[in-house]
Structure 1
Amino acid sequence: MAQPTPTGPYKLVTVNNAPDRARRLIGRVVEDVKGQYTIIHAANSATIEDVEKTVQEAQPDILFTASMWTPEESRQIIAIAKGVVPSLRTFSLPQGLQVAKGPDAVVEYIKENLPALLE
C-alpha cells in the first residue's frame, strides 16, 4: 500500500529569543512528522519588535510562540503577525514548558497539537 503523501508544505516562523534552540527543536519536530506534514522552518524572530518584519518577509502559514513568552506577550505577537498575514495559523507553547520539562516535552507537545492546527 502506498504511503499517504504528506500535506503541506507549510512555512513556519518561530518567535524565540534563543534562535539556535528554536532551529534544533523545530528540526526534530519536522523530522518526526515528515510522513504526515511537510514543514519548512522559514525564519525565527528573536524579539517581539522583529515579528512584523519577519512575518512580512517570510509570509508563513504557521507561527509558533516559544515558552519564554508570557500569555500576554504571545497574544501581542500573534496580533502583530495576523496584522500581516490574517489567515496565519498560530500556536503558543505554554509559558515555562521548556524550563520545567525540557526540550523533549516541547517537541512532544508540538507533535500532539499539530494535527488540530493543520487539519
Structure 2
Amino acid sequence: MTPKGPYKLCTVNKVPARAKILIGRLVENVKEKYTIHYVANVERVEDVKAMCEKEQPDVLFCASMWTKEESDEIQRIAKDTVPGVKTKAIPEGLQVEKGPDAVVEFLKEQWPLLVEE
C-alpha cells in the first residue's frame, strides 16, 4: 500500500525543539499509512498568519501549552488564511500532566480523523 499524502504540517509551539521531537515521533509512527512533511513552527500567535501564508499547510497543530482561547484563535487564523486547512489543538496541559507519550498517542489517534474526513 502506498502511503497517503504528502501532507504539509505546521505547528504552533513555544518550544520548537519539543515540537520537532514529538512530530518526528508521529511521522515515524504513521509512515506506513501517511507521508507527512513537517515544514514549520511558530512560537507566537501573532506569527501564525505569516507562517500559513508562506507554507500553505494541510494540517496545523496547536501545542498543549496554549489555553483554549489561544488555541481557538490560532485555529481561526489558520482557517481564515488557508481555506480547507485541518487544525487540531492538543488538549491544554496534556504534555505537563501525562508526558510526551500521551501527546504522540493523541496525535496518532487524531491524524486519520483529520485527513480522511
Report the TM-score range of the alignment, normalised by the length of the smaller protein.
over 0.9
1:32 and 1:38 mapped to 2: Cα distance?
11
Normalising by the residue count of structure 1, what TM-score does the alignment of the two structures yield? Answer: 0.95
The aligned counterpart of 1:113 is: 110
Unaligned runs of 5+ in 2: none
Count of residues paired in the alignment: 116
The CA deviation at 1:115 is 1.1
Normalising by the residue count of structure 2, what TM-score does the alignment of the two structures yield? Answer: 0.97
Once the two structures are superposed, residues 19-77 of structure 1 have per-residue CA deviations (whole angstroms, 9 ceiling, x without a partner) of 00000000000011000100011100111010011111111000000100111111100
Q: 1:26 aligns with which of 23, 27, 39?
A: 23
Percent identical among aligned pairs is: 58
1:83 and 1:115 mapped to 2: Cα distance?
23
| Correspondence 1:8-27 to 2 at 5 A | 8-27=5-24
Runs of 4+ deviating beyond 4 Å = none
Say yes or no: does 1:45 pair with 2:42: yes
**What is the RMSD of the two structures over their aligned residues, measured on CA atoms?**
0.6
2:60 and 2:95 mapped to 1: Cα distance?
18
